Amino acid sequence: MTKTEKKPGIVTRNLNVTFNGVPAIENIDLELHRNTVTAVIGPSGCGKSTFLRALNLMHDMTPKCKVTGQITILDKEITEYTGVELRKRVGMIFQKPNPFPDMSIFDNVISGWKLSGMHNKKFYNEIAEKALRNSDLWDEVKDRLKEPAISLSGGQQQRLCIARTLAVEPYIILMDEPTSALDPISTQNVENTIYRLKSEYTFIIVTHNMQQAARISDVTAFFYLGKLVEVGSTRKIFTNPDEKLTEDYVSGKFG
């Protein structure tokens, strides 16, 4: 499978998620193409995280959470994957950097492999260096790979988490407000990383930062009260959206 084809990486049809019977997102129909960066925006509580977590079966962990509808990931129904198979293809970066606290920087990068039972040491070094270079962290950490991951700054930790995800070579990377806990410079580092990697990966990034969405995404999807209001090219969404609601939100009239 070549990664550069411009065909849908993710398709959702009539996607619904409920918690305790209360709907969090309703009837989401969305088609996201490979090797694009899609920004998911919308006010707090509108279901952005809920949508994202449906795409890598993370809701399986939550009791009393029900997901219905159809999700197709990389041309295959999501139900045909096991959680492990799917998440090797669909990685996720969280809002708060969450490196494994009692592992070294190096062990964190290769943790996806190591914990899945691959034990070729030589392979580890290659994987780690490549992933750290790709996440723009290599120069900062190459001399301290054995140090604990929590000795890094918040921004470095987040790029370490990106490296850890890149190391397992997924096709799709989901990011839930990946820079909201970071300072402006770290934010820019992470954005640069995404920008540089977008020819190789499909990114879906939830963000509250309109400028960020405008800067790094090709496509923007606007959610409101659990529904998908509008999706289109980022330029269109930010300059000339079809819906009044979208215009009000992107221009900061509410949110």
Ligand X SMILES: Nc1ncnc2c1ncn2[C@@H]1O[C@H](COP(=O)(O)OP(=O)(O)OP(=O)(O)O)[C@@H](O)[C@H]1O
x/- binding map, residues 21-60, to ligand X, per CB under 6 A?
Answer: ---x-----------------x-xxxxxxx----------
- With CB under 5 A, what is the number of residues at the site for Mg ion? 1
Q: Which stretch binds Mg ion (CB under 5 A): 47-55, 160-168, 209-217, 244-252?
A: 47-55
Is residue 228 within the footprint of another protein (CB under 8 A)? no
CA-closest candidate to residue 13, choices 32, 35, 31, 25: 31
Residue 100 near residue 111 (C-beta atoms within 8 A): yes
Q: Which is nearer to another protein, 24 or 109 (CB)?
A: 109
Instruction: Identify what 165 binds: ligand X, another protein, Mg ion, none; CB under 5 to 8 Å per kind.
Output: another protein
- With CB under 6 A, what is the number of residues at the site for ligand X? 11
Is residue 98 within the footprint of another protein (CB under 8 A)? yes
Instruction: Identify what 83 binds: another protein, Mg ion, ligand X, none; CB under 5 to 8 Å per kind.
Output: another protein
Residue 29 beta carbon to ligand X: minimum distance, rounded to whole angstroms: 18
Q: Which is nearer to ligand X, 19 or 100 (CB)?
A: 19
Is residue 115 within the footprint of another protein (CB under 8 A)? yes
- Position 225, amino acid: L
Contacts of 168 (CB under 8 A, 6+ apart): 88, 91, 112, 113
Is residue 234 within the footprint of Mg ion (CB under 5 A)? no
Q: Which stretch binds Mg ion (CB under 5 A): 43-51, 70-78, 178-186, 241-249?
A: 43-51
Is residue 100 within the footprint of another protein (CB under 8 A)? yes
Among 19, 94, 100, 138, interactor with ligand X by CB under 6 A: 19
x/- binding map, residues 60-79, to ligand X, per CB under 6 A?
Answer: --x-----------------
Among 35, 49, 202, 246, interactor with Mg ion by CB under 5 A: 49
